[in-house]
């Protein structure tokens, strides 16, 4: 029996002057994009990427269709950047109910996907950053990583080249699971325990997303804060 996905989303500018995050809650497609802050028009890149993703996935809802939609999102941002003679980029996390592989996620950058199951929060994505790759290689310590000058530098992003390598994850989903897609303004501000607490105590996905974002803003997140909460039913 196939799963049903029900989602809610919230976003806030947090400690920034403008909000470069964008979210989408569509027909079997849920996503988040965080425009790269050091580049031009991050808010344009994130919205453009999600609009292109949503439109292309609607034409082919297979697992391969999701990956194709990510490449279309990449091309859409790159075309706009070329037209305006600027450099634009964005992260992207998408979760989709596909026609052939169940629930599948696609991921580029350092926005994250978590799964809450039986009260335990598990990170399902790997950050595409210089520091994350150094940590995985054992080249730096956790303590040194916090102060590393390249700790926020992405190794992959949507819109910075003609093709982008996309991580694909086939998700194991059971009734009662919750998925959380979030930007770094949320997971760098709230602890794992705080996220678990809110996801475990608020059953409505829209209310849970709003509470997560509000909690990060109240703790003075210095970045944009966004969350998409997906209930598996």
How far apart, in whole angstroms, are the C-alpha atoms of residue 223 and residue 36? 11
The string over 1-17, giving b where at least 16 C-beta atoms fall within 10 Å of a residue's C-beta and e elsewhere, is eebebebbbbbbbbebe
Contact of 70 with 54, CB cutoff 8 Å = no
- Name the H helices within the chain: 42-57, 63-84, 130-136, 142-147, 184-187, 192-201, 205-218
If one counts every other C-beta atom within 10 angstroms of the C-beta of residue 167, the result is: 18
Instruction: Report the alpha-carbon distance of residue 232 to residue 216 in Å, rounded.
Output: 24
User: Exposed, middle or buried, 198 (CB in 10 Å: 0-12/13-18/19+)?
Assistant: buried
Averages of pLDDT over runs of 10 residues in the chain (233 residues) are: 88 94 96 83 95 98 98 97 91 98 97 97 94 71 64 88 97 96 97 97 98 97 96 96
The pLDDT of residue 40 is: 62
Domain boundaries, the chain: 5-219
| Dihedral (CA of 206, 210, 213, 215) sign | negative
Return d(Cα 103, Cα 54) in angstroms, integer. 16
Cβ atoms < 10 Å from Cβ of 215? 19
**Residue 141 has which token pair?**
């310590």
What architecture is domain 5-219? 4-Layer Sandwich (3.60)
CB contact set of 84 (below 8 Å; sequence gap of 6+): 40, 41
pLDDT score of 189: 97
């Amino acid at each position: 029996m196939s799963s049903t996905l029900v989602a809610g989303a919230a976003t806030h500018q947090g400690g920034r002057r403008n909000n470069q995050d964008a979210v989408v809650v569509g027909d079997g497609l849920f996503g988040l994009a965080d425009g790269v802050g050091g580049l031009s028009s991050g808010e344009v890149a994130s919205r453009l990427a999600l609009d292109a993703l949503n439109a292309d996935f609607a034409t082919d809802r297979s697992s391969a269709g999701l990956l194709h939609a990510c490449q279309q999102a990449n091309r859409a941002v790159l075309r706009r950047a070329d037209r305006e003679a600027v450099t634009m980029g964005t992260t992207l996390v998408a979760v989709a109910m596909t026609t052939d592989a169940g629930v599948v996620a696609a991921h580029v950058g350092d926005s994250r996907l978590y799964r809450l199951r039986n009260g335990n929060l598990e990170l399902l994505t790997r950050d595409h950053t210089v520091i994350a790759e150094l940590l995985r290689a054992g080249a730096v310590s956790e303590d040194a990583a916090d102060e590393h000058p390249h700790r926020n530098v992405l190794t992959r992003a949507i819109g910075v080249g003609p093709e982008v390598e996309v991580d694909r994850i086939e998700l194991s989903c059971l009734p009662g699971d919750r998925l959380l897609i979030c930007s770094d303004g949320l997971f760098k501000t709230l602890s794992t325990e705080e996220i678990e607490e809110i996801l475990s105590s608020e059953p409505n996905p829209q209310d849970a997303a709003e509470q997560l974002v509000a909690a990060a803003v109240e703790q003075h997140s210095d970045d944009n804060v966004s969350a998409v909460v997906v209930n598996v039913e």
